[in-house]
Amino acid sequence: MRREVLLLIARQFWVSTFKSKGIFLLMGIMVVLLVYAVYSGVGYHDQNHFRIDHQEKARESWEGNPDKHPHRMAHFGTFAFRLKHPLSVFDFGIESYTGNAVFLEAHRQNVANFSEAGFSTGLLRFGELSMGMILQMILPLIIFFLGYASIVSDRENGTLKVLLTQGASWKEILFGRSIGLFGISCLFVIPFLVVTAILLILEEHSVDDQWVRLSFLSLSYIVFSFVLSLLTISVSARSQSSKSALIKLLGLWLFMIVILPRASQALGTYFHPSPSKLEFRAAIEEEIIQYGDSHDPNDEHFAALRDSVLRANNVDSISQLSFNYGGLVMREGEKISASIFNEHQQQLVSIYRDQNQLTRSLILLNPYLAIKNLSMTLCGTDFESYVDFQNQAEDYRYSLAQKMNELQIKYISPKRVSGSEGKVYVVDKSEWKAFPDFKHQFQNIQHSLENELISIVSLLIWLVLAVWVILYLSRKSTAL
């Protein structure tokens, strides 16, 4: 292929496209959508200030406690707030449907609450207008609209014959038009990425790998746009009329973005139903009671524990021990309940992953699913990022509860065998401040990319496939 011919055909496509007033109308609509999406995204992301403020207030409340029995402090608890990733301003992902705060207390593992969906109207089910959503759903329509007649109209008006007789090859014509269409699509994509970069610069709470993530995000959307451009030109070359090409592309958009994702999600939920919140909690409580109740002195498991401790220390009663036996019981009970909860939690997460598996298995067949999942992952708004926060919160809760139990074992007199009232059996308040605060840590980019390796592979496969289709059509297409 001759470079000058490719550029000439691409430039001719640009000139003919910008002769139409429709392109300026589309650009104007995209500018309006961009402004609104930025406004929504900044307001949406600005919630970080409230979450950081509430995290600080929870810490102040924790440290403000006076000298107290450590078991009381374990039940006093604290909060863990999930921060929004700086790039969530670009793609909201599933953030609005997941909770953002967890109350951390002893003997009980709470789930994240206060999701945006819980406080919104039913309109949220129609989706939120983020920059990522616009590029994923509206950009394909624009590319299809601009390129559907690029080849077939030339065949209809005889221009294609002229190009071929003047020495241009089919390969040069198809790739030239594809490059021209891709160049115009970049006029719609780049402003979104530039605005995102500006918002990252203005972001107060930055993340170490945010620029690397933005680079991968930009490359992903550029590849997505190029794939769409190649597919559009291919459909136009294979169609017998402009109307036929437009109908095919609109059908492709409907299938990729509406039918396939919705159907796969519905089928995943049908074949892998998840328990309700009440059923999930009831199953945990039932298993804990069967295994051993640390608050029941006559429980078989803990009665056996008491006897083994007395024998190991050669004493007749727990009041003769050199440490607080009540703290030991609480430590054992916390270990049991945490183990049971983590097992049930992993089962629940596994069910959710199974529900998503059908959709993920279709990623190789649908570039829209690939860019959607990859975009959410790079912006820290995907399901795995939420699960990671839940795990961080539970690890912190368990460490806090066991630290309070250790303080009880070490500092509370063994003479006191039950109860936590009074001013004698207390621990100095400096211990509360010594325990570190909860800090939400975002996943590193390597882990995020590993989670969405299939999406990266899908985009690359579609890129190779689209190029191959153009090469194939360059040998099979005719001017008639």
Lowest mean pLDDT among 49-63, 140-154, 421-435, 446-460: 421-435
Averaged pLDDT for residues 417-438: 76
Question: What percent of the chain clears pLDDT 90, i.e. is strictly above it?
Answer: 51
Task: Determine which of 220-229, 230-239, 296-305 has the lowest per-residue pLDDT on average.
Answer: 296-305
Query: pLDDT tens digits, residue range 16-34?
Result: 989 888 899 999 999 999 9
What is the average pLDDT value for the chain, to the nearest integer? 87
| Residue 199 contacts residue 114 (beta carbons within 8 Å) | no
More confident residue, 275 or 122: 275
Q: Report the predicted TM-score, pTM, of the whole model to 2 decimal places.
A: 0.89
User: Cα(135)–Cα(359) distance, rounded to whole angstroms?
Assistant: 20
Res 188 pLDDT > 80 = yes
CA of residue 260 relative to chain centroid, distance: 20
147-182 pLDDT per residue, tens: 998 888 888 888 888 888 888 888 999 999 999 999
Angle CA 26–34–365, to nearest 5: 75
CA–CA distance from 7 to each of 3, 143, 145, 327 (Å)?
6, 19, 22, 77
CA distances to 104, 106, 179, 329, 479 from 396, rounded to whole Å, are: 8, 11, 52, 20, 68
pLDDT band at 46 (very low <50, low <70, confident <90, very high): confident
> What DSSP string runs through 405-432?
HHHHHHHS-TT--S---SSSS-B-THHH
Token pair listed for 329: 């019981």
Largest Cα span, the chain: 106
Q: Which of 421, 419, 407, 427 is nearest to 297 (CA)?
A: 419
Report which of residues 46 and 159 the model is more confident about.
159
Six-digit token string for 176: 């030239």
What token pair was written down for 394? 């539970």
Decide: residue 323, CB within 10 A, 0-12 exposed, 13-18 middle, 19+ buried: middle
Q: What is the pLDDT of residues 61-99, one digit of tens each?
A: 999 999 998 989 999 999 999 999 999 999 998 887 887
Q: Is the pLDDT of residue 274 over 50?
A: yes
pLDDT surpasses 50 at 122: no
Q: Are 217 and 378 in contact (CB under 8 A)?
A: yes
pLDDT band at 479 (very low <50, low <70, confident <90, very high): low
Residues 313-370: tens digit of each pLDDT: 888 888 888 888 888 888 988 998 899 999 999 999 999 988 888 888 889 999 999 9
Q: Point out the least confidently predicted range of 156-165, 304-313, 398-407.
A: 156-165
**Token pair for residue 432?**
């509360």
C-alpha distance across the termini of the chain, in Å: 23
Q: What is the pLDDT of residue 73?
A: 93
Task: Report helix, strand or coil for 478.
Answer: coil
| Separation CA 382–CA 210 (nearest Å) | 16
Q: How far is CA 186 from the centre of its chain?
A: 25
pLDDT in the model for residue 97: 80
Percent of the chain with pLDDT strictly greater than 70: 93
Based on DSSP, count helices (H) and strands (E) in the chain, helices before strands. Answer: 21, 3
